[in-house]
């Protein structure tokens, strides 16, 4: 089986601060309550903040390895100017505002929801 690698197909790469993922572990509360305490403790030991920090470290390690592999393959890294990055951020802000409007209902203030999510990301992000 042939395996295509990005650095085999492309010569130029741009590293931008674009990714911000959200993951959730969801369980029915009745099912959770039916689990023995040692199972609940085992789940909590690898989820919540501890699990999130471990996943973040894994993503960081993987990203660093990918960047090294791309650089070692002789590819060129393109640096985005502050002006272009600001223009990109302005466009992203417009998209975020449109999304917030699209989820707004009588029961949900989309902009308040987005503002709180962004504040949490800023407070707890790296």
Domain boundaries, the chain: 1-79, 80-126
| Sign, Cα dihedral of 111, 22, 70, 64 | positive
Tens-digit pLDDT profile for residues 43-85: 988 887 888 888 888 888 988 998 898 899 899 999 899 999 9
- Range list of β-strands (E), the chain: 12-14, 76-78
Among 10-24, 44-58, 67-81, 101-115, whose mean pLDDT is lowest?
Answer: 10-24
Whole-number Å distance between alpha carbons of 111 and 86: 21
Asked whether 78 and 72 are in contact (CB, 8 A), the reply is: no
């Amino acid at each position: 089986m042939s395996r295509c690698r990005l650095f085999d197909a492309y010569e130029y790469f741009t590293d931008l601060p674009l990714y911000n993922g959200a993951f959730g572990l969801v369980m029915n509360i009745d099912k959770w309550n039916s689990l023995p305490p040692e199972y609940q403790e085992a789940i909590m030991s690898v989820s919540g903040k501890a699990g999130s920090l471990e996943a973040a470290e894994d993503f960081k390690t993987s990203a660093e390895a990918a960047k090294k592999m791309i650089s070692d393959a002789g590819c060129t890294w393109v640096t985005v100017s502050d002006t272009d990055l600001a223009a990109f951020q302005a466009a992203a802000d417009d998209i975020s505002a449109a999304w917030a409007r699209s989820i707004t209902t009588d029961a949900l203030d989309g902009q308040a929801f987005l503002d709180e999510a962004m504040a949490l990301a800023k407070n707890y992000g790296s």
